[in-house]
Chain A
Amino acid sequence: MTSGSENPLAPPEGRAPAFYFDGTSSRRHLVTLAFNDRLELHEDGRTLAAWSFADIRRADSPAGTLRVTCLTAPALARLEIRDTAAAAELASRCRQLDENAPGRAGVAKIVGWSLAATLSIVAVVWIGVPLAADRLTPLLPQTFERRLGDVAEQQVKILFGGKVCESASGQAAFSKLVDAVRESAGLDTSIQSHVLATPVPNAFALPGGKVYVFSGLLTKADNADEVAGVLAHEFGHLRHRDNMRNLIYNGGTSFLIGLLFGDITGSGALIFASRSLVTASYTREAEQNADTFAIDVMHRLGRPTKPMGELIFRVTGKQGDKTLSILSSHPLTEDRLKRMSEEDRPPSGPPLLTKAEWASLKAICN
């Protein structure tokens, strides 16, 4: 390749050869080293630089080369010594040679701080984010929530076909049922409910006060109390503004967990797994609260709570065999049914719908 050894300008005997770059130009100076009270770099009798040994620091170099710099020289000034004896000589004189070397005791420090940062992120995810979600939700204006609801509604309509069922008698029965549950739930008339024609057996509340019941759920329902319970559960979500809380919570945890694992290849699965674990426990709690709310509403109406549990059970079947409870976003159906059976009271109020009304509700999409 190149080099010092074949150089016609071999240095004088007894003085170590080295290459010097002064940090202001890329010119390569062939220098000889003189170890006096300071390290002197000579080039043809001129002293190019004199570095005090205490200021000399090691810089990265390939194996077999000692590359040093000096604190008092320009930042990029470099001296390269390829002669092992001279390198050893210099190293023995510079006590602080490796003082700035990165990554020595530093690693323990990095590990320590990383653990502290991780602990703090975990604490924020477990305590801080739920707290923030609870506190921030009431501060968000209803108008903003309604806007979010409008957005979600448009997407839902696209995803599920968007056919709203409104046969006159069915709509009348549905309104009667909704009004009864709504009043008992203490919600005002800004709440809107619709039946959407889709075979998926489900119901949900959108932010800002829109409740959708899918016709698939009505098909599976046997009586008005079952549907009333589900409506009450969804009103519970609205009352607690769970949508907004979930939004803040999900945003916060996704962000923090993503931050934690960063861009290690394959970390996607880790992020997904830990997020599902954390958010599942959060939504389970919200679902439980909505169930509590629904139970209270049904008690006030003087209607039984067990039918709601039975409807859910009919839709999902027994879950305990299939899913791991800590990964599930809802409490297990059998546990919900058990709870609603325990809370069940014999009916003390009038039926919510007459037989004829129930029949027209079932036929609302025809």
Chain B
Amino acid sequence: MNQMSSVPQHPPPAPQPPALPAAVAFSGNRGEFRRLVTRGAGLELVTFGFYRFWLATDMRRHLWANTHIDGDAAEYTGRGRELLIGFLFALAILVPIYLAYFILGVEIERLKAFASVPLFLFFYLFGQFAIYRARRYRLTRTVWRGVRFWMTGSGWAYAGRAALWGLLMMFTLGLILPWREAALERYKMRHSYYGDLQGSFEGSGWEFFKRGWWLWPLAPIAFYVLPLAPFVYGAFKAVEWRWWLSGIRFGGVRLESTMRRSALIGLYWKYVGWIFLLGAVFIAYLALSAVVVASIDGMSLAQFSKPQVFLKSIPLLALAGLGYLALVLGINVVMRIYLLRDLWVRVLASTTVYNVQAAANVSALGDLANALGEGFADGLDVAGF
């Protein structure tokens, strides 16, 4: 970083080195994050899922606070309570929409059976709106050097663009994805600010296409040959991250990512490995419970292993239910550790910020956005994290 520029009363130093790269680093302790998500998963269970708002907040606080850009750590100032309120407001709005959707659906179906299927489009649009507004919430809770990021633009304008590009995606079987992402990122970044520094996006669809086109024919193959999937998806995500990060600008500040195509494949394999391991443990647990329940009922295993017998055993079903809950929570923990925290770390490690001096004296600007978007995203199940 440029130490000099932050101490202006010092006599102006000799010529500044141009566009000095600034480091991006992560200082979080992995064990601490693991404890955070494990405890969070337990609390999600006890609270029937309501703890999700606070868990999401705590994960973001951990990740943000340990992310250092040019020596200064960021901060996440959102709170779980805001997410809860956003969710409740979103519900209040979604209930009448669901009802209207239902009645409209009935009227259309009367004209022609199954004609109401395109009404799903509306929910697609709504989901995109939610994604935009949720990003806006998260951005306005992101603070670096005492100045917050913020966002303008219209969620509906974004949703309209996303839907039109989505239509093109259907016609081109996904080949147009790079251009779709470039256009949507341009819209998002153009409306993003750090203080009075306006963002922009310089990645082009063509560049993305050049780097990742070979994945396009592989995707349908990976769909059938499952062991290929982590390779293809991992490579795709790495190409996407690199292209996305390298396109981000805030005023004169420029990001650059050097992520290799293979950088994320290991993470996805570890995740898959854990799923198999947890699945195996779950099956072993089921078998053990069956043996225990059978011996308590005084039945031989052969008698007990008939579906009409064990499917009627309430103690066994209860044990299976408990085991399933544990499995789900375990998978959530593993997912958050590998695909959230570890991924975050790898992405940061590949990133360099150039010309960070341009952000050395930015004036604070912009208002906080509410969490309604996050609420919609939760209610419509389109939430990122």
Does A7 have its Cβ within 8 Å of any Cβ on chain B?
Answer: yes
Whether the Cβ atoms of A154 and B112 lie closer than 8 Å is yes
Whether the Cβ atoms of B113 and A26 lie closer than 8 Å is no
Does B72 have its Cβ within 8 Å of any Cβ on chain A?
Answer: yes
Other 6 A-B pairs with CB < 8 A, given A25-B146, A25-B361, A264-B328: A3-B71, A60-B76, A111-B46, A261-B49, A267-B49, A324-B314
Which of A3, A76, A265 has most B Cβ within 10 Å? A76
Q: How many Å from the CB of B368 to the closest CB on chain A?
A: 9
Q: How many Å from the CB of B333 to the closest CB on chain A?
A: 10
Whether the Cβ atoms of B363 and A25 lie closer than 8 Å is yes
9 residue pairs, one from A and one from B, having the closest CB atoms: A21-B146, A114-B47, A2-B71, A266-B328, A154-B113, A114-B50, A151-B109, A28-B6, A26-B145
Whether the Cβ atoms of A25 and B362 lie closer than 8 Å is yes
- Please, how many angstroms separate the alpha-carbon atoms of A130 and B105 in the complex? 24
Residues in B with CB closer than 8 Å to A267 are 49, 328
Whether the Cβ atoms of A60 and B64 lie closer than 8 Å is yes
- Please, how many angstroms separate the alpha-carbon atoms of A7 and B3 in the complex? 8
Question: Number of B interface residues, CB 8 Å?
Answer: 78
Does B10 have its Cβ within 8 Å of any Cβ on chain A?
Answer: yes
Can you list 26 residue pairs at the A/B interface with Cβ under 8 Å?
A: A3-B71, A21-B146, A24-B146, A26-B195, A28-B72, A28-B360, A30-B7, A44-B9, A61-B75, A62-B73, A63-B66, A78-B145, A107-B54, A110-B47, A114-B50, A115-B48, A154-B112, A255-B98, A259-B91, A261-B49, A262-B52, A266-B328, A266-B332, A270-B324, A270-B325, A324-B317
Given the interface pairs A21-B146, A27-B360, A262-B49, the reply to whether A155 lies near B113 with Cβ below 8 Å is: yes
- Which secondary structure dominates chain B's binding surface? mixed
Q: How many Å from the CB of A302 to the closest CB on chain B?
A: 40
Whether the Cβ atoms of A1 and B52 lie closer than 8 Å is no
Does B268 have its Cβ within 8 Å of any Cβ on chain A?
Answer: no
- Please, how many angstroms separate the alpha-carbon atoms of A265 and B275 in the complex? 13
Does B300 have its Cβ within 8 Å of any Cβ on chain A?
Answer: no
A308-337 interface (Cβ within 8 A of B): 321-322, 324
Does B175 have its Cβ within 8 Å of any Cβ on chain A?
Answer: no
Whether the Cβ atoms of B47 and A115 lie closer than 8 Å is yes
- Please, how many angstroms separate the alpha-carbon atoms of A76 and B75 in the complex? 10
- Please, how many angstroms separate the alpha-carbon atoms of A76 and B364 in the complex? 9
Residues in B with CB closer than 8 Å to A40 are none
Identify the closest chain A residue to B113 (Cβ).
Answer: A154
Q: How many Å from the CB of B130 to the closest CB on chain A?
A: 12
Q: How many Å from the CB of B1 to the closest CB on chain A?
A: 5
Whether the Cβ atoms of B57 and A263 lie closer than 8 Å is no
Whether the Cβ atoms of A76 and B71 lie closer than 8 Å is no
Whether the Cβ atoms of B324 and A260 lie closer than 8 Å is no
Does B308 have its Cβ within 8 Å of any Cβ on chain A?
Answer: yes
- Please, how many angstroms separate the alpha-carbon atoms of A27 and B8 in the complex? 10
Question: Number of A interface residues, CB 8 Å?
Answer: 67
A46-70 interface (Cβ within 8 A of B): 59-65, 67
Does B34 have its Cβ within 8 Å of any Cβ on chain A?
Answer: no
Contact residue among A111, A270, A321 (Cβ-Cβ distance under 8 Å from B43): A111
Q: How many Å from the CB of A171 to the closest CB on chain B?
A: 25
Does A77 have its Cβ within 8 Å of any Cβ on chain B?
Answer: yes
Whether the Cβ atoms of B43 and A269 lie closer than 8 Å is no
- Please, how many angstroms separate the alpha-carbon atoms of A361 and B98 in the complex? 44
Whether the Cβ atoms of B6 and A29 lie closer than 8 Å is yes
Whether the Cβ atoms of B98 and A117 lie closer than 8 Å is no
Whether the Cβ atoms of A78 and B328 lie closer than 8 Å is no
B residues near A, CB below 8 A?
1, 3, 6-7, 9-10, 23, 25, 27-29, 43-44, 46-52, 54, 57-58, 61, 64-66, 68, 70-73, 75-77, 79-80, 91, 95, 98, 102, 106-107, 109-110, 112-114, 143-148, 194-195, 308, 311-312, 314, 317, 321, 324-325, 327-328, 331-332, 335, 359-364, 378, 381, 383
- Please, how many angstroms separate the alpha-carbon atoms of A29 and B6 in the complex? 7
A residues near B, CB below 8 A?
1-3, 7-9, 19, 21-30, 44, 59-65, 67, 74, 76-78, 80, 102-103, 106-107, 110-111, 113-115, 117-118, 147-148, 150-151, 154-155, 157-158, 251, 255, 259-267, 269-270, 273, 321-322, 324
Given the interface pairs A59-B75, A148-B106, the reply to whether A114 lies near B51 with Cβ below 8 Å is: yes
Contact residue among B23, B98, B106, B312 (Cβ-Cβ distance under 8 Å from A1): B23
Whether the Cβ atoms of A265 and B148 lie closer than 8 Å is no
Whether the Cβ atoms of B364 and A110 lie closer than 8 Å is no
Whether the Cβ atoms of A107 and B43 lie closer than 8 Å is yes
Identify the closest chain B residue to A20 (Cβ).
Answer: B146
Identify the closest chain B residue to A4 (Cβ).
Answer: B71
- Please, how many angstroms separate the alpha-carbon atoms of A262 and B91 in the complex? 12
Whether the Cβ atoms of A260 and B147 lie closer than 8 Å is no
Given the interface pairs A114-B50, A261-B49, the reply to whether A155 lies near B65 with Cβ below 8 Å is: no
- Please, how many angstroms separate the alpha-carbon atoms of A77 and B146 in the complex? 5
Residues in B with CB closer than 8 Å to A1 are 23, 25, 68, 71
Given the interface pairs A102-B80, A262-B52, A322-B308, the reply to whether A9 lies near B7 with Cβ below 8 Å is: yes
- Please, how many angstroms separate the alpha-carbon atoms of A24 and B196 in the complex? 11
Whether the Cβ atoms of A266 and B331 lie closer than 8 Å is yes
Whether the Cβ atoms of A265 and B335 lie closer than 8 Å is yes
Whether the Cβ atoms of B146 and A22 lie closer than 8 Å is yes
- Please, how many angstroms separate the alpha-carbon atoms of A64 and B29 in the complex? 12
Whether the Cβ atoms of B364 and A265 lie closer than 8 Å is no
- Please, how many angstroms separate the alpha-carbon atoms of A265 and B44 in the complex? 11
Contact residue among A44, A117, A158 (Cβ-Cβ distance under 8 Å from B113): A158
Whether the Cβ atoms of A9 and B321 lie closer than 8 Å is no
Residues in A with CB closer than 8 Å to B51 are 110-111, 114
Q: How many Å from the CB of A251 to the closest CB on chain B?
A: 8
Residues in B with CB closer than 8 Å to A61 are 65, 73, 75
Residues in B with CB closer than 8 Å to A273 are 321
Q: How many Å from the CB of B39 to the closest CB on chain A?
A: 9
